[in-house]
Chain A
């Protein structure tokens, strides 16, 4: 089982890039430890800015730095970054199109037992609704590294959500990656599953279970929630009976909503959206919470199988 977290991989990638790029700047809000960015702060103190526990300031100061040619990565818990500083992200990052990548750490229910204040199950909806903001939820460490490298190459606003715990490997070093292109993990003719972030390994397990049960299953890793890879989605959806989206998010405004919009416009068929509930959630580790709400491999497979049995 992989023990390297996606946040650690982001730090490693930024450390590597900082050797060549003096304009790369990391900004934190007393979050360098939880973002695994302490090593960056120690090695490149001149390219690291601590803002203290002040997320609004974190985002606007990042935009100010970016307006002077800095390539800014601002890391803070996703729960705060996507709500407390939402207006700063809207105005100073998205509207002004500054070269700021917002890294939402400990996303979704990573801080499971800390309760709803620390959950970020609305961040996809919030950021996707901002004009000119991109939204990425990489699945494993290899994809996270490739995504970070790609974002270092461009100058546009982006939001990246990663989990606190290590994610099971989906890929290896030889993986192919293209920015804003979904990865096709399985191909099949009955069911298309579309997942992002932490949900990809569970969706993969569900795909295996469904295949054992005799279904033809396709699976897309749609790490690029916005801009959604419509081309790959529509190609994969062309012949299936059922489209299933899986996300660590509220049922509204996230991957499921965006996929449903595209499917209903271009190849109408049934879409079911597996997500966290619209209401109070139990406490526990993120994996316990996933299992409780049917978002682990067996849970996803059960729901999909039951939906397929109704398809006849």
Chain B
């Protein structure tokens, strides 16, 4: 498959934002703020960086991905649907509905999802496991884990960080979607996770700061740097904006899992479409 250029990636991310806004509006469920902050990261990973698709899903050589901030699965469903793992419209129509497989956290009944998850603080350790397995089996696949910054208060992350550095897992790459907000307020107010890069560095990780974590070009460059790193796991500290792309949601904690009115939905779609067609 031809890889997309930066402009195309950005357009795709904005198209997927429109999809997730529709999914969340229809279901009156989901976590729209985080969906919008992480969408560029997911788009870049699935359409530029990772070697995973419906074609190689059964191959042990596929890259592994864990969305540790599993409540943003709404966004992941749109990316996986776009990637061809299933009919995206089915996810939009049935997200969180009675008896739907598209529930509010990642589960393996949905093609393209590696493990059941959703409880915070598990993804990085799962990634340590798959990265260790790659080494044992002499395989070249890489493991990518996306974490939230609020999630970094979970102690299990630090057990996984320690082990990843101990085992020099250079085939493991984490990304922190640093949008500085969580359900009760700013991370500074709730549980300060400032200097996350310093924390990872102290544990022995290679730290890459992505100044604008909603900029596809910066993300691609950072993932390239991570892929070249030897003997150390890498982490992207991606400075993002929660609610990115929808003016009234941006940097506003009430949109962690807010529900849109019809008018808000139409405004959101219009704003996203404007960027998409720039």
Contacts from A to B (Cβ < 8 Å): 25, 46-47, 49, 51-52, 54, 56-57, 60-70, 87-88, 91-92, 95-96, 98
CB distance from A91 to the nearest CB of B (A): 5
Asked if A56 and B156 make an inter-chain contact with CB atoms under 8 angstroms apart, the answer reads yes
Asked if A61 and B132 make an inter-chain contact with CB atoms under 8 angstroms apart, the answer reads yes
Known interface pairs A67-B129, A95-B116, A96-B108; A61-B136 also in contact (CB < 8 Å): no
Identify the closest chain A residue to B125 (Cβ): A60
Residues of chain B lying within 8 A (CB to CB) of residue A98: 115
Asked if A91 and B159 make an inter-chain contact with CB atoms under 8 angstroms apart, the answer reads no
Chain A CB within 8 A of B162 CB: yes
Asked if A67 and B60 make an inter-chain contact with CB atoms under 8 angstroms apart, the answer reads no
Max chain B C-beta neighbours (<10 A), residue from A61, A62, A64, A70: A64
Residues of chain A lying within 8 A (CB to CB) of residue B134: 68
Chain A CB within 8 A of B117 CB: yes
Bound together, the chains give a CA A98 to CA B115 distance in angstroms of 9
Residues of chain A lying within 8 A (CB to CB) of residue B163: 51-52, 54, 57, 61
Bound together, the chains give a CA A87 to CA B122 distance in angstroms of 10
Residues of chain A lying within 8 A (CB to CB) of residue B133: 64-65, 67-70
CB distance from B221 to the nearest CB of A (A): 28
Total number of residue pairs linking A and B with CB closer than 8 Å: 96
Interface size on B (CB < 8 Å)?
A: 30
CB distance from B131 to the nearest CB of A (A): 8
Bound together, the chains give a CA A11 to CA B133 distance in angstroms of 21
Chain A CB within 8 A of B263 CB: no
Asked if B119 and A67 make an inter-chain contact with CB atoms under 8 angstroms apart, the answer reads no
Identify the closest chain A residue to B122 (Cβ): A60
Within 8 A of A (CB), among B137-176: 137, 155-156, 159-160, 162-163, 166
Bound together, the chains give a CA A98 to CA B126 distance in angstroms of 12
Residues of chain B lying within 8 A (CB to CB) of residue A51: 159, 163
Identify the closest chain A residue to B155 (Cβ): A56
Bound together, the chains give a CA A47 to CA B119 distance in angstroms of 28
Identify the closest chain A residue to B143 (Cβ): A64
Identify the closest chain A residue to B167 (Cβ): A49
Bound together, the chains give a CA A50 to CA B64 distance in angstroms of 22
Bound together, the chains give a CA A56 to CA B125 distance in angstroms of 9
- Enumerate 12 A-B pairs (CB-CB under 8 Å) in ascending A order: A49-B132, A60-B156, A61-B160, A64-B129, A64-B130, A64-B132, A65-B132, A67-B129, A67-B130, A67-B133, A92-B117, A96-B117
Q: Within the complex, which residue of B60, B114, B128, B137 is in contact with A57, where a contact is CB–CB below 8 Å?
A: B128
Within 8 A of A (CB), among B79-125: 108, 114-119, 121-122, 125
Asked if A91 and B114 make an inter-chain contact with CB atoms under 8 angstroms apart, the answer reads no
Asked if A57 and B136 make an inter-chain contact with CB atoms under 8 angstroms apart, the answer reads no
Known interface pairs A49-B132, A87-B119, A91-B117; A63-B159 also in contact (CB < 8 Å): no
CB distance from B79 to the nearest CB of A (A): 20
Chain A CB within 8 A of B127 CB: yes
The 7 closest A-B pairs by CB, nearest first: A64-B129, A60-B125, A68-B133, A57-B159, A54-B159, A64-B126, A61-B129
CB distance from A262 to the nearest CB of B (A): 29
Asked if A63 and B108 make an inter-chain contact with CB atoms under 8 angstroms apart, the answer reads no
